[in-house]
Amino acid sequence: AGQPRQVINPEVTFTLDRADLSKAADPLTAARQRAGALASRPFALEKPPLLRAGYFALGDGTAVFALAMHHIVIDGWSVPLFFEALWRAYEGETLPSPNLHFADYASVAATRLGSGMEVDRAFWHAALMPPAPHLELPCDFVRDQTASKHAGWVSREVSGEALRQARAFAAARNITLFQLFLSALQVVLARITGQSDISMAVIVSGRDLPETATMLGLFANTVIIRQTVRSADTVETHLG
């Protein structure tokens, strides 16, 4: 088998999808449909650019601008950086050429991984093997065993007083709010499932180098946090 390598194209052709939808029965709905089609069309990773955009005129000087990018070229941190640069260019500003590109970061990362890969591999193998069992969450329906991206979203508003108390609790133990809430969630999951081996996936920025703070690209990574939670644990005892 060959070795993967990066190929940087000297030029990439980009075409903006433009359409005048002002004569449509419902221009905004038509624009949303065009934007949805633009976003749902699969990308071919070997065919750059992994970005597509559409400009759909609605009439009366209004328009919808739609943008779709493959996750392999951008992460959540990069999105506001991208739109800031796009807005500055739209305003007529000449953007400076970046001092560093993602290819530079990739080269540094490859060197760092090569020097410590076996140590890292041994650490994660010890931490994650054997794999933790699936969490058997109590449901009022039979769970589908087929993997799916469909999910729900639940939000709760935390009062200012509760947040103040959480911050004080965390500060007294020299931990962050993230550590506090992660530990609380682990304790809750252990109680409702009756399981003690709890693993959770946490997204990290991956931007350890200061130079990466203003760079566009996919730096994010997923880290598995695996903890043993005793049946009698409270958040405080679980934190130790």
Q: What is the pLDDT of residues 74-97, one digit of tens each?
A: 999 999 999 999 999 999 999 988
Distance CA 78, CA 213 (A): 9
pLDDT of residue 1: 63
Q: Which has the higher per-residue pLDDT, 110 or 126?
A: 126
Task: Sort strands 51-59 and 17-20 into parallel, antiparallel or unpaired.
Answer: parallel
Q: What would the mean pLDDT of 29-41 be, rounded to a whole number?
A: 95
- pTM as predicted: 0.77
**What is the band of 209 on the pLDDT scale with cuts at 50, 70, 90?**
confident
> If residue 11 lies in a helix (H) or strand (E), which one and from where to where?
none
**Tens digits of per-residue pLDDT, 139-189?**
888 877 787 777 788 898 999 999 999 999 999 999 999 999 999 999 999
Q: Averaged over 188-209, what is the pLDDT? A: 92
Q: What is the pLDDT of residue 56?
A: 97
Spatial separation of the C-alpha atoms in residues 135 and 143, rounded to whole Å: 12
* Residue 107 in this model has a pLDDT that exceeds 90: no
Percent of the chain with pLDDT over 90: 67
Distance (Å, rounded) from C-alpha 101 to C-alpha 159? 43
Residue 211, Ramachandran bin (φ over 0: left; ψ between -120 and 50: alpha; else beta): alpha
- Tell me whether residue 136 is exposed, middle or buried, using C-beta atoms within 10 angstroms of its C-beta: 0 to 12, 13 to 18, 19 or more: exposed
